[in-house]
Structure 1
Amino acid sequence: MKATVKGRYEGDKATAATTLAVPAAGDLRFKASATEAAFANGPSLRGLTFTLEKPGAFLIDLKPHNQDVRFQFMNSALVLDKRVSLTYTHSTTLAPPPAPPAAAPPSRTALDCSVTFDPANKVNFSHSIGSGGCRVKYTYAHGPDRLTTIEPLFDTNKNAWEFAVSRKFQGGDAIKGTYHASTKLLGLEWTRDSKASASFKVATTFDLSDQSKAPKLIAESTWNYEI
């Protein structure tokens, strides 16, 4: 059984979450996740998520508090010597619909397709059913060791670009910069993977549309244990 504990500090707010993963029959794996909301005012179902998954095949998430369910199915195949991966995601609720005139929460369905041309080049298409648009991302890993990754993305709904550039270093360190043209948010991130089954992240976000706003700071640590 594997346990993951994650702590996060954002501004003046600190949060925590934990996940327990237990092998089930065959390749199946069962996970139970909880945030601090499950214990803030005494034990409750709020903040709990139960997951049944077969890595690379399917995943089912259930949030018992509001009876939200997420189904995800994944598959991949070689097409003309190119690796094509498809992911179908559908989110809905098992809760009875509210009384009129309120409307039941809409179901949410998304399709994701990625084509890997070679180890350095990949294109990803994401589309939410009913949105009328899609997100197209190109990933390029530069150099013989592919330590530098450049990811331009275009969102047809917002008619705007997003950019991400990341660089990995020896010892487990990595830095990443992002820019969202639609919101004019600039993000900088540093992460480190420790040999002690832990990872750390420090990130900050600058709102370039309103430079009077103070940068937003986020610190996060994740610890993995074998039980």
Structure 2
Amino acid sequence: MKATLKGRFDGDKATAATTLALPPAGDLRFKASATEATFTNGPSLNGLTLTLEKPGAFLVDVKPQNRDVRFQFMNSALVYDKRLSLTYTHSTSLATAVADAPPPPSRTALDCTLTVDPANKLTLSHALGSGGCRVKYSYAHGVDRLTTIEPVFDTKTNAWEFAVTRKFQGGDAVKGTYHASTKLLGLEWNKDSLAGGSFKVAASFDLSDQSKAPKLVAESTWNYEI
């Protein structure tokens, strides 16, 4: 059994989450994830998520507390020697409808990724009913492909986003992002630990209001074999 413990510090707020993954049963994987809300006032269903998946084929997430369910189906095929990957995601609630209350919204999304070659990928993401889609191009530069450039365009808002990631030997990575519509600049540093975990420190800057202090987030993840 594998256990993952994640701690996050966001401003003056600290949160924690844990995930337990049972040994594989054939092609199937089962895991349970919980946040601090699950144990704050004694064991409860708050913040608990149960997941059943077959990697590369399907995934089902269930939140028992509010009976939210997320289905995800994945498939891929070769089209003219190019890998085309499709992911269909549907989220809904199985909770009993309350009288005189509107039913909880259902959300359906489709992601399509075309891998032109190991250095070039094109991804199209569309949420049904959104009236638009997100188009992302990913280019990994260099022989070792340590630098990745990812421009994103949202056709609904006509807004651009940019991300540049640089990986280094030893597991370190630095990432910068910029959202043109909100003028938010993000910087992130990730480091893998030899002990079986990772660390992340991120900062975001609101360039539309430079009087605001940067938002800082620190996160650590530890993996254990039980």
**TM bracket (short chain):** over 0.9
Task: Give the equivalent residue in structure 2 for 1:8.
Answer: 8
Partner in structure 2 of residue 226 of structure 1: 225
Task: Quote the offset at 1:171 in angstroms.
Answer: 0.9
CA RMSD in angstroms, aligned pairs only: 0.7
Structure 1's consecutive aligned runs of 4 or more residues displaced over 3 angstroms after TM superposition are none
Instruction: Provide the rounded CA distance (Å) in 1 between the counterparts of 2:99 and 2:208.
Output: 42
Q: Which residue of the partner structure matches residue 188 of structure 1?
A: 187
Q: Which runs of 5+ in 1 are unaligned?
A: none
Q: Deviations over 1:106-163 (max 9, x none)?
A: 1100000000000000000000011110000000000000000000000111110000
| Residue deviations 1:40-98 (CA, integer Å, cap 9, x gap) | 12221100000000011000000011100000000111110000000000000000112
What is the distance in 2 between the residues matched to 1:218 and 1:94? Answer: 34
* In structure 2, C-alpha distance between the alignment counterparts of 1:157 and 1:103, rounded to whole Å: 26
How far 1:24 sits from its partner (Å)? 4.2
Q: Does 1:67 align with 2:63?
A: no
Pairs within 5 Å for 1:145-160: 145-160=144-159
- Superposition map of 1:23-172 within 5 A: 23-100=23-100, 102-172=101-171
Question: What residue is the counterpart of 2:173 in the other structure?
Answer: 174
**Under a length normalisation based on structure 2, what TM-score does the superposition of the two structures give?**
0.98
Q: Deviations over 1:190-221 (max 9, x none)?
A: 00011211100000000111111110000000
The aligned length equals 226
| Unpaired segments ≥5 residues, structure 2 | none
Q: Aligned partners of 1:16, 1:133: CA distance in 2, in Å?
A: 35
For 1:147, the aligned partner's letter is L
Give me the whole-angstrom Cα distance separating, in 2, the residues matched to 1:55 and 1:183: 35
> For residues 60 and 198 of structure 1, what CA distance do their matches in structure 2 show?
26
Shift of 1:25: 2.6
Q: CA–CA distance in 1 between the matches of 2:177 and 2:25?
A: 41
Structure 1 residue 23: Cα displacement: 2.7
Please state whether the residue corresponding to 1:37 is helix, strand or coil.
Answer: helix
Q: Kindly provide the CA deviation profile for residues 10-56 of structure 1, in whole angstroms up to 9, marking residues without a partner as x.
A: 00000000000013431101000000011112221100000000011
Code of the residue aligned with 1:170 in structure 2: it is Q
1:182 match: secondary structure: coil
